[in-house]
Homo-oligomer: A and B are copies of this chain.
Amino acid sequence: MDKTLDVLYANNEFKAKAFLDEIEGKNPLFICTIATTETGKISGISAAGKYPEFTDYTPPADAELLLLGKCKSIAGVPVTPDGIPTPALITMSALHLADIPVIVVSGGLKVKPQIPFLDLGGNPGRDIRTGNAVDNVEEVILRAKIAGENLAKAVDYLVIGESIPGGTTTALGVLSALGVKAEGKVSSSMPENPHSLKTETVKAGLAAAGESFGSLANNPVRAISCVGDPMMAAFSGLVIGAASQVPVLMAGGTQMSAVLALVNALNPDVLCNVAVGTTRWVANDKSSDLKGIVTQFCDVPILAADLNFGSSRFPGLQAYETGIVKEGVGAGGASIAAMAKLGGAVTKELLLKEIERNYALLMGLK
């Protein structure tokens, strides 16, 4: 745990502390990488939407929330089937508190957001059980790399988050294809982590593609194409382009381990400039193991925002303490960046107050 900031060290404490020291007081840009995939609509896979069909609207709505402070593509904000609000609410509150700018990047979307977004020429993803999930991966990585290079020149460092329903299943898919043991280790936005459903889905995808565990260790592009999602192409390209110049905080949960594995296979040199930023809910999750995945292939530090909604006056936020949602839309990384930018001025208590204020405003609560 950091001495002055509400940030936990969840892997490689030495490097984690050095990374946090390096970004303290600096001006970041937050990039929200959004995409959709049919994988997210498999029944029981994702809680990122009230119904499976709504998952097409969750990423654009999350992105709108960050840029506009409200959604345009849907009424209210994205919620889980239990009515628990999107983690974009945390991200938005953190970014607003610290006045951190946002750019939205699309990896491939079925529904376009009603805000400015960076188009990389990608398409929405198919169900990974087809074994042919993502188009145009190499080109999207290339364009994302160019965007990352240019954005990195403009700012001190980047925080990159994602919103894609079904993302931990595609993460398991890509990790498996690359030969990283992640079965039973990826996180979930649902109260009960549906590990066996994810494993079955990935097995079906690898079989349909004629691939198996580890068979694509040297072909990360094909790993995404077969059993990944369009967010990964955009995200890994951004990291590769940016981290050669500035620090990059990869903001997310176990999905970040898949992006890390891809970057490690594509361009491992940049990993020295990378950290993962997540939430306490992911770092302490008993039903997943981010550190256990990451440490199989690299020593990238993991930081975790020490968020705690146990004292919230809203049941919808308290529910985060039961292990629902946990992370997403770069909530943990954005919180860390806000704390780091303004030093001790942004505490977890202040952040919760701002989140509650925005939640009440958006949901019409008092």
Contact = CB atoms under 8 A, between A and B. Distances in A.
B116 A153 contact: no
Interface in A139-188: 139, 143-144, 146-147, 149-155
Contacts of A106: 119
Given A67-B146, A101-B150, A146-B67, A117 B115 contact: no
B116 A116 contact: no
- 6 closest A-B pairs by beta carbon, nearest first, are A101-B153, A116-B147, A101-B150, A119-B119, A116-B143, A101-B154
A138 B101 CA distance: 23
A331 interface: no
Contact of A117 (B68, B100, B101, B118): B118
Interface of A: 27, 29, 67-68, 99-103, 105-106, 112, 114-121, 139, 143-144, 146-147, 149-155
B27 A146 contact: no
Q: Which of A27, A112, A116, A147 has the most CB of B within 10 A?
A: A116
Main secondary structure of the interface of A (DSSP, over half): mixed
Contacts of A139: 114
Contact of A154 (B29, B116, B117, B147): B29
Contact of A68 (B102, B146, B155): B146
Nearest to A241: B116
A91 to B, nearest CB: 14
Contacts of A154: 27, 29, 101, 151, 154-155
6 contacts: A101-B152, A101-B153, A103-B151, A105-B116, A117-B119, A151-B154
A146 B116 contact: yes
A27 to B, nearest CB: 7
Contacts of A152: 101
A116 B103 contact: no
A99 B68 contact: no
A150 B119 contact: no
A119 to B, nearest CB: 5
Contacts of A151: 101, 103, 154
Nearest to A234: B116
B102 A150 contact: yes
A115 B140 CA distance: 9
A19 to B, nearest CB: 20
Given A68-B146, A116-B144, 14 more contacts: A67-B146, A99-B153, A101-B149, A101-B154, A112-B119, A114-B139, A115-B143, A116-B118, A116-B120, A116-B143, A116-B146, A117-B118, A117-B119, A119-B119
Contacts of A144: 116
Given A115-B143, A143-B115, A150 B103 contact: yes
A167 to B, nearest CB: 21
Contacts of A102: 150
Nearest to A116: B147
A106 B115 CA distance: 13
A326 B264 CA distance: 47
Contacts of A101: 149-154
A67 B149 CA distance: 10
A225 to B, nearest CB: 19
